[in-house]
Structure 1
Amino acid sequence: MSDESSLMSETLCGFLHSALPTLAKGRQWVLLYSTQKHGMSLLTLYRRSAMLPGPCLLVGGDRQGAVFGGLMNAPLQPSPKKKYQGTSESFVFTNVTGHPYIFRPTGLNRYFVLCTTEALAFGGGGHFALHIDAELLNGSSGACETYGNCCLAQTEEFILKDVELWGFVHTSRYTPSYALFKEPEEVPSFRSC
């Protein structure tokens, strides 16, 4: 890992690593965004997700100690309309029961990840598996058809402690990891018609 996580234990990291798609396995984890380092802004999280191609792992934690999140198969691109993104490689996870658990898509729908300027959400059908507001302060979680999950946090409505976004990069002994990615260009803002 390029940085230390404020949310994930070594055990949780190992568990999540084993669940990653082949494209991300064996690669170095790079911290693309952290509320502790980059402030509390969903638009900054979106902008920084574009630093690396490929999958991104969102990790959040509530103030009661639950750690949860989800895997997206590509950098996040906010849409001015309610349009879901992602593939069946996505998943959501939690450690709310005391042990890490992953919920993979059930195949009932394709509501994998929803990115708007107002919120980021995983899943759909019933409730969102995970919904985080634009200020990265509040969230909600409930059972959803997409992932067949239970509530990922300690309570259905929660206050976020921290949010992190991790990318995965292939390194070699010849290329330092910091040279493999660069700051993205400014993300264009969306206007409603």
Structure 2
Amino acid sequence: MGLAVQGSTAKHGISLRTLIRKTGEASGPCLLVAGDMQGAVFGGLLDCPLKPTPKRKYQGTNQTFVFTTLHGEPRLFRATGANRYYYICMNDLLAFGGGGNFALHLDSDLLSATSGPCETFGSLCLAHNPEFDLKNIEVWGFVHISNYLT
């Protein structure tokens, strides 16, 4: 098993629609990795390809998680079982968690985001501040590597 970049704001521009479209190349789960301007790295696990819904409808499974490096070592927050608010994917927003706040909420322009205490994952704010500018976003897809390919 390996990782391959599916989408990146550095490579593909700052558009949520483009990022969603690029996840269509993934056959399995993807890891969304983002960062704030102060150096925190955070994100979460998504089912891919992403399927935008016309209304706010939660997707995902209890395998979904969020993480942060805000306090040094990476810290993983798994689903607590408090609810099934794993993630929402629409053409104008992508958000992890719910119950109080989103653990991570990205707008369509992928320039700014929010994060707050979230019941779904038992997480605190993943970034340095609850409202912040994004430095970069990448989506990494998990791929199977065959021993027979050279």
Instruction: Report which of the two structures shows the higher radius of gyration computed on alpha carbons.
Output: 1
Match of 2:131 in 1: 157
Larger strand share, 1 or 2: 2
Q: Does 1:63 align with 2:37?
A: yes
Q: Which amino acid aligns with 2:23?
A: S
Q: Does 1:86 align with 2:60?
A: yes
* CA distance in structure 2 between the aligned counterparts of 1:51 and 1:171, rounded to whole angstroms: 15
What's the secondary structure of 2:76's corresponding residue? strand
8 Å contact from structure 1 (residues 73, 89) kept in 2 = no
* CA distance in structure 2 between the aligned counterparts of 1:142 and 1:134, rounded to whole angstroms: 19
What's the secondary structure of 2:25's corresponding residue? coil
TM, length-normalised to structure 2: 0.97
Q: Please, which runs of 5 or more residues in structure 2 have no aligned partner?
A: none
TM, length-normalised to structure 1: 0.76
Task: Please state how far the C-alpha of 1:175 moved relative to its aligned partner.
Answer: 2.8
8 Å contact from structure 1 (residues 56, 168) kept in 2 = yes
Corresponding pairs, count: 150
Query: Which of the pair has the greater relative contact order for Cα pairs under 8 Å at 6+ separation?
Result: 2
Larger helix share, 1 or 2: 1
What's the secondary structure of 1:50's corresponding residue? helix
Q: Please, which runs of 5 or more residues in structure 1 have no aligned partner?
A: 1-26, 177-193
What's the secondary structure of 1:152's corresponding residue? coil
Task: Please state how far the C-alpha of 1:74 moved relative to its aligned partner.
Answer: 2.9
8 Å contact from structure 1 (residues 33, 166) kept in 2 = yes
Q: Which amino acid aligns with 1:118?
A: D
